[in-house]
Amino acid sequence: MQSNESRLERLKALVDVLPLQPGVYIYYDVNDVVIYVGKAKKLRNRVSQYFFNKTQTAKTQLLVSRIHNIKHIVVNSEEDALLLENNLIKKYKPRFNILLKDDKTYPWIVIRNERFPRVQITRNLVRDGSLYYGPYTFSSHIKSLFETFSSLFSLRTCNYDLKPDLIEKGYYKCCLKYHLGNCSGPCIGGISEEEYGQSIDNIRRILNGHTSVVVKDMKAKMLAASEELNFELAAIYKNRIDRLSEYQARSVVSSSSNFNADAFAIYDDENTNETYVNFIRVVEGCILQSFTLEFKSNMSDSREEILSHAIVEVRDTLKTLSRTIFVPFMPDVEFANISFIIPQTGDKKKLLELCEKNARMYALEKLKHHTFLRGRNSHIDLLASVQNKLQLPTIPRHIEIFDNSNTQGEYPVAACVVYKDGKPSKKDYRLFNIKTVEGPDDYASMYEVVNRRYARLVAEQQPLPDLIVADGGAGQMESIRQATEDALGLHIPILGLAKNDKHSTNELLIGFPPKHIEIRRTDDIFRFFAGMQEEVHRSAITFHRKKRGKSIATSELDEIKSIGPQTKQKLLQHFGSVKNIGKATAEELENVVGKAKAKAITDYFSRPKT
């Protein structure tokens, strides 16, 4: 194997024969894979800095340690070198380069290459002769454009291949849009190809930023219609002019400015090592387009280098040919026939500030989106850990937990709490009155409730849970197993939350016979099930107290023979509780139910209670 010293000596010999001309240099690793592509005004001087400069960053040192071969391509200018470098980076995606993060697809507006062209939104660029405008970073912009087009021009949306002979023969049938006045009906000869083409030309002018030309043309037609006393047609043109002027006003930079330029601004996110470059295209003083690029820097690339890459990428992708570009600082490459301006005041300075704001807001929106996804996926990650810890066959995305509640066997109830994707699904909670069990028998109560729950789910063909949790130890787990496996033939994993002498959950049990799960009380999994246990306990206790309170209120008032259901309801609504009724004075009672019934109530509550 070649030593590091001999490798460096061989590479330095390659550097010594590089030309002093503009070009691109390509670094290869030991497997002949491209790991870095760079540009240079003088190839030999630039590449030698990697091998003869002793003050290198850690990333540069790592790159040099991986280089095993160097190749180069000579070009005519530094701008040509930048263009070639950009293309090679997109082709090879070297791990040490500035990489354009182009994994997303943005929408474009396309004018189809066909007779009576359709105007559509697409995310796929197909080189079929159609005209594409964009891309558009923000959906609000493209939506605004389409609303403008829909209000101005009655374009077709059908996918008919409109052939002249078939139109003449009446082969096609018009759709509902035509009857609503939203389509000019080219399929039935409702508009000539020349007249339809005028609408398409106007759309092209608007998309190219020449909205004022369209407005001027419509004003001329409006005046001509008025002179011919065709006021209905003149009103149509007036409405179109108003809508177009409204759209134009939304995108104007300044009412006093009328210039054509591109603007670039850059924003660095130090936390993610990503750089955002926003581009704004201005035509006739109006913002025509805004677009944000994301770059991932793997080396110590300067902001000037990233800005140069962004300018090349935008001009190549969007085919913008502006001769004036506003920038916050000068790029590291001189471009032919392009004037770079760093605005200091006025509307052009405000435009650059808007550009930087767009880049910053784009990064913030991306951060919010990722935070939302992390929050949503964190529950799934936790459930995956639960599956691994409990050795379950699937991720338990649907979990149900049961708990009983009674007072020495009186007013027995139970609750079933449902968790889906790690969060409570309150619409699926269920409460049960115990019907077949006499006395305080928690095991029999658990059997009854679980059997009723899953017998019904099976009968209604509803989805079954991935895991059942018992608020108790081995005894409760066995009751659930008998109710599901023995009685219904269901095989659903069962987890037990066993408690210690202080009635505090201290261990997790799984399987039959139950096995102890080694887990700390501070573990996220333990806390997850502890929270689930608190939720089902709260539901069961609340239901039990409600039932007990209702029963007590009913039995107390039922002892008074002259008090019927309507009177009881009236008393409870007025006084709020049986206890308050017993404390009320005779006069207060008389005001609600009359003298006779008030006397019966006071007599009842004044008697000694046994």
pLDDT in the model for residue 408: 65
The count of structural domains within the chain is 5
Q: What is the mean pLDDT of the chain?
A: 82
Of the residues 28, 62, 97, which one is the last residue of a structural domain?
97
Within-domain flag for 389 = no
Q: What are the residues whose beta carbons fall under 8 Å from the beta carbon of 205, sequence distance 6 or more? A: 211, 213, 214
C-alpha distances in Å from residue 248, one per residue of 109, 121, 148, 291, 469:
18, 21, 10, 19, 62
For the ranges 38-47, 128-137, 188-197, 560-569, the one whose mean pLDDT is highest = 38-47
Same domain, 534 and 412: yes
Within-domain flag for 440 = yes
Same domain, 478 and 596: no
pLDDT in tens, 174-208: 888 888 777 888 888 888 888 888 888 888 887 77
The residue that leads in pLDDT, 291 or 387, is 387
Same domain, 164 and 49: no
pLDDT in tens, 226-277: 888 888 878 877 877 777 776 655 555 554 567 788 999 999 887 777 888 9
3-state secondary structure of 138: coil
Six-digit token string for 17: 């024969």
Let me know the angle formed at the C-alpha of 365 by 381 and 59, rounded to the nearest 5 degrees. Answer: 75
Q: What is the pTM of this model?
A: 0.50
What angle, 0 to 180 degrees and rounded to 10, lies between the N-to-C axes of helices 193-207 and 211-227?
140
Q: Is the peptide bond before 493 cis (omega within 30 degrees of 0)?
A: no
Let me know the angle formed at the C-alpha of 115 by 109 and 116, rounded to the nearest 5 degrees. Answer: 65
Within-domain flag for 390 = no
Give me the domain span that covers residue 486. Answer: 398-538
- Domain with residue 328: its CATH number is 3.30.420
Within-domain flag for 377 = no
Same domain, 194 and 299: no
Q: Is the peptide bond before 22 cis (omega within 30 degrees of 0)?
A: no
Within-domain flag for 39 = yes
Same domain, 18 and 150: no
Q: Which of 148, 102, 108, 375 is nearest to 244 (CA)?
A: 148
Choice among 142-151, 167-176, 397-406, 591-600 with the minimum mean pLDDT: 142-151
Six-digit token string for 274: 């990503």
On the question of pLDDT at 507 being above 60, the answer is yes
Within-domain flag for 578 = yes
On the question of pLDDT at 502 being above 70, the answer is no
pLDDT in the model for residue 481: 92
On the question of pLDDT at 367 being above 80, the answer is no
- Domain with residue 487: its CATH number is 3.30.420.340
Of the residues 251, 286, 312, which one is the last residue of a structural domain?
251
Same domain, 457 and 534: yes
Q: Where are the alpha helices (DSSP H) in 134-192?
A: 139-152, 164-168, 176-179
- Domain with residue 601: its CATH number is 1.10.150
3-state secondary structure of 591: helix
Same domain, 53 and 118: no
On the question of pLDDT at 154 being above 50, the answer is yes
Rg (CA), the chain: 39
* Residue type present at position 459: A
Of the residues 317, 341, 365, which one is the last residue of a structural domain?
365
Same domain, 299 and 412: no
For residue 228, the tally of other CB atoms under 10 A from its CB is 10
Same domain, 515 and 426: yes
On the question of pLDDT at 534 being above 50, the answer is yes
C-alpha distances in Å from residue 278, one per residue of 22, 330, 359, 364:
28, 16, 5, 13
Same domain, 184 and 244: yes
Beta bridge partners of 276: 267, 294
* Residue type present at position 173: K
pLDDT in the model for residue 255: 46
Same domain, 232 and 209: yes
CA distance 271 to 265: 19
- Domain with residue 71: its CATH number is 3.40.1440.10
